[in-house]
A and B are shown apart, each in its own frame.
Chain A
Amino acid sequence: MANQQSAPVFLNLFRIRFPVGAVTSIAHRISGVLMFSSLPLVIFLLDISLQGPAGFDRALDYLQTGWLRAGSVIIAWSVFHHLFSGIRNLLIDIDCGVSLQQARRSAWLANIAGLSMTLAWLWWIL
């Protein structure tokens, strides 16, 4: 653990204030972990959906169940939020929109765009 001295350690989450950029950032992380967790299930569905017409229908049946429909909304939010806040991160990496005011505005934009697309997804599957 030679690098412990150089790594800042302040991870008491309850003592950290959360401006909008922090919400975008932690949501980026949470959505990433959620997508990672769903990976085996997604690959399982891909697998059976390509095992002939019967498997394809079975995959569709699974997707119609309440649990997977609810899960798909969470994963849809994860994908959309991760995508939008990821684009924001890439733009900030190339010095686009770095000022505090612009960064706050783009953080709001990413949060709202992610939620809006999730609503669109919900409308799409209902």
Chain B
Amino acid sequence: MVDSVSRPTHGLRDWLLQRFTAVYLGCFLLYLMVHFYNQPQHDYQQWHDWIRHPAMTIASAAFILALLVHGWVGMRDVVLDYANTLRARLLLLSLIALVFIGCGLWALQILLLSAR
């Protein structure tokens, strides 16, 4: 991905990825809103059972993946717009990539552990 600092050739692919992930994120978000509107009170057991349901685990894992892709394209666009030196871009992009990879692995670990 460091290539995209100097080579703006992935534009269309990233643009499409951002749109497709946006649709999935929007649908999942809508489902979350409906779910919590209907069932505002959860106790631990309900909460845990809901998340470890296989369909929910898969849908959540896909959500996290889509979120990371969507967020990466968005944050990268922001950095490339406002940071204009190669050094600043590399620094910020590496930092953001680190946060994204860390959050992604962390979230997947949570899902896998709760699905046991």
Given A3-B6, A83-B26, A90-B23, residue A50 in contact with residue B71 (CB < 8 A): no
Q: Is A11 an interface residue (CB 8 A)?
A: yes
Complex formed: what's the CA distance from A47 to B103 in Å?
11
Complex formed: what's the CA distance from A36 to B71 in Å?
7
In the complex, chain A residues 1-52 whose Cβ is within 8 Å of any chain B Cβ? 1-3, 9, 11, 29, 32-33, 35-36, 39-40, 43, 46-47, 49-50, 52
Given A39-B99, A47-B106, A49-B47, residue A33 in contact with residue B78 (CB < 8 A): yes
Q: Give me the interface of A with B, judged by CB distance under 8 Å.
A: 1-3, 9, 11, 29, 32-33, 35-36, 39-40, 43, 46-47, 49-50, 52-53, 56-57, 79, 83, 86-87, 90, 93
Q: Contact check: which of B22, B99, B110 meets A50 at CB < 8 Å?
A: B110
B19 lies within 8 A of A11 (CB): no
In the complex, chain B residues 68-116 whose Cβ is within 8 Å of any chain A Cβ? 71, 74-75, 78, 81-82, 84, 86, 96, 99, 102-103, 106-107, 110, 113-114
B22 lies within 8 A of A90 (CB): yes
A52 lies within 8 A of B81 (CB): no
A40 lies within 8 A of B103 (CB): yes
B6 lies within 8 A of A2 (CB): yes
Q: Is B53 an interface residue (CB 8 A)?
A: no
A93 lies within 8 A of B81 (CB): no
B44 lies within 8 A of A52 (CB): yes
Number of interface residues of B (CB under 8 A): 31
Of A2, A36, A53, the most chain B CB neighbours within 10 A belong to A36
Q: Contact check: which of A3, A33, A79 meets B75 at CB < 8 Å?
A: A33
* Residues of A with C-beta under 8 A to B103: 39-40, 43
A87 lies within 8 A of B26 (CB): yes
Tell me the minimal C-beta distance from B86 to chain A in angstroms. 6
B81 lies within 8 A of A50 (CB): no
* Residues of B with C-beta under 8 A to A2: 6
Q: Is B51 an interface residue (CB 8 A)?
A: yes
Tell me the minimal C-beta distance from A3 to chain B in angstroms. 5
* Residues of B with C-beta under 8 A to A79: 29
B110 lies within 8 A of A32 (CB): no
